[in-house]
Structure 1
Amino acid sequence: MKKIKVLVFIVSLILFTSCVSRKKMVYFQESEQVGGSDNSKGNVANFEPVIQNDDMLFIQVSDLEADAVTHFNLQSSQSVTDAAGINAGSNNTYAAQKQTYLVDNIGNIDFPVLGSISVGNLSVTKVKELLREKLTVYLKNPIVNVRIVNFKVSVLGEVNKPGTVSIVSQRVTLPEALAMSGDLTIYARRDNVLLIRDVQGVKTYNRIDLTNSNIVDSPFYYLDQNDVIYVEPRKVKLNSTAISSNITTVISIVSFLITTTLILTK
């Protein structure tokens, strides 16, 4: 009887435990920080997301002559912070709805006086420059404020809080988005994270290794609007899931075999 119990314990231990190496679990391995050197590339450090179809843009025009900008704002005298809906209150939410512009399915917005303007695949900075250039025909020194108010990414798979993550700022990194989702679970594959990105209407599928410190130089380190991140489970999770789904059957078989063995050995 004692030998049978030991055998069952050993089998269970083999089935439900596994040894995981440091290489598979630790982020940003072999990072170089001696002397505080900065290894980031300029094009990554200056990353700015591009505007996509269905984005909601907050746009506010101001000028030294306040009366001159009346016709270029859907809702005037509202601060950027309030109109973006960051502060609480129904009035601010209403102002955000009045002040925002929807990017249509061909990348255009309808702007007062100026008419239809193509902003799709442009950065916020480029849109500011474009609007400022068009407004100089009507205003002496126009100041244009633009921001994306519905910036979000989706995080799925082996994270503690999967779902859609809303971003208040104008850009977010992959590690930040994962942190907002409660970080990866112990069953997550850190060396093969999938990032699905829309590039000018075409879906691209990109694999990212979070254990490699060179990720900070990757074009996927900063996220675009509507990026989808999928964290794949490790093999041990898939195996344990398969075992768990049949655990009742396994226990019944083991119990039957133990009972039969006890009867035969009496």
Structure 2
Amino acid sequence: MRLISKYGLTLGILAVFLVIFSSCGSRKNMVYFQPDSTLINTVFEQYIPKIQKNDILTIVVTATDPKVTAPFNPLSTMSSSNMTQGVDLALRPTYTVGKDGEITLPMLGKVRIEGLTRLEAIEKLRSELSQYIKDPGVNINFNNFRVSVLGEVARPGSFIMPTERVTILEALGMAGDMTIRGVRENVTLIREVDGIKTIHRLDLTKQETLNSPYYYLVQNDVIYVEPNKAQINNSKLGANTNIIISIAGLLITVISVLTR
């Protein structure tokens, strides 16, 4: 019985050490943006997302006299003071940017806006509308500014962003941040522009990443956080756990029989 207890104690100690060493990590591998001599000079205006094909945009035209905007807001006439804000937003006209980079607006017809920022598109539409409306106002919002976060994060998934000004940190925050098992030095960003996908690597432990052209995200970006070696090893161990337990049980049984 002492021999059995000794083997049981040994297996227990080995299990504890396995858990400790598989989950440990250094500060260097865990802390975001560790201090160094990097000069932070990035600004959002350098990397403002551009309107792309297949973007879905909400466009609302305003003026001093609401009646003159009715032809340009075909669905807004359904709104009423009794509607909730959410319902009212749902009734606002939306437009999909076609494969030719154009949208089709009432009265104006086709207008090319692909490659423009949201503010540039607003100014272009204001200029086009000025032939029909005095001092028109235009509001454009993205309806499908989606970012996906996958891998070692608390809540992986796809998220619709309320604004086009979004950073990789904000996207990770919406996904509940990286788990302790996520590799912060090699975060993958997949970006598609004009049908061409490109892959970029970001080291979130270095301040220089704040200056990266990929620190600010664009629509349809995909972020992937890979698991560290300990997590990969743990997954292998988990797959073989039943086999290990069975072998250990068999050894203990054999030892028990031999030492009677």
Structures share fold, TM-score greater than 0.5: yes
1:8 maps onto 2:11 in alignment: yes
Q: How is 1:84-103 mapped onto 2 (pairs within 5 angstroms)?
A: 87-88=85-86, 90-93=87-90, 95-96=91-92, 99-103=93-97
Tell me the CA shift for residue 77 of structure 1.
Answer: 6.4
Matched residue, 1:136: 130
Matched residue, 2:218: 224
Figure out how many residues of one structure are paired with residues of the other and give that number.
253
Q: Answer whether contact 1:62 1:143 (CA < 8 A) is retained.
A: yes
TM-score, length basis structure 2 = 0.87
* Percentage of identical aligned residues: 40
Select the residue among 31, 43, 46 that pairs with 1:26: 31
Q: What SS class does the counterpart of residue 186 from structure 1 fall into?
A: coil
Rate the CA distance shift 1:32–1:233 in 2: closer, same or farther, 3 A: same
Q: Answer whether contact 1:193 1:232 (CA < 8 A) is retained.
A: yes
Rate the CA distance shift 1:209–1:121 in 2: closer, same or farther, 3 A: same
Q: Map Cα deviations across residues 206-261 of structure 1 (whole Å, 9 max, x no partner).
A: 11111112221111111111111111111111110111111010111112122223
Q: Answer whether contact 2:166 2:217 (CA < 8 A) is retained.
A: yes
Matched residue, 2:181: 187
In 2, Cα distance between the equivalents of 1:184 and 1:145? Answer: 35
Select the residue among 185, 207, 214 that pairs with 1:213: 207
Q: What SS class does the counterpart of residue 170 from structure 1 fall into?
A: coil
Q: Map Cα deviations across residues 27-57 of structure 1 (whole Å, 9 max, x no partner).
A: 1111569xxxx82224x45532211222221
TM-score, length basis structure 1 = 0.85
Select the residue among 248, 255, 258 that pairs with 1:261: 255
In 1, Cα distance between the equivalents of 2:115 and 2:190? Answer: 17
Rate the CA distance shift 1:158–1:4 in 2: closer, same or farther, 3 A: same
Q: How is 1:57-72 mapped onto 2 (pairs within 5 angstroms)?
A: 57-72=57-72
In 1, Cα distance between the equivalents of 2:167 and 2:129? Answer: 34
Q: Answer whether contact 2:51 2:116 (CA < 8 A) is retained.
A: yes
In 2, Cα distance between the equivalents of 1:152 and 1:32? Answer: 34
Matched residue, 2:236: 242
In 1, Cα distance between the equivalents of 2:141 and 2:37? Answer: 35
Q: CA RMSD in A?
A: 2.6
> Structure 1: which 5+ residue stretches go unaligned?
none
In 2, Cα distance between the equivalents of 1:86 and 1:17? Answer: 54
In 2, Cα distance between the equivalents of 1:252 and 1:13? Answer: 19
> Following TM superposition, where does structure 1 have runs of at least 4 consecutive aligned residues deviating by more than 4 angstroms?
76-79
Q: Answer whether contact 1:121 1:200 (CA < 8 A) is retained.
A: no
1:164 maps onto 2:158 in alignment: yes
Q: How is 1:98-109 mapped onto 2 (pairs within 5 angstroms)?
A: 99-109=93-103
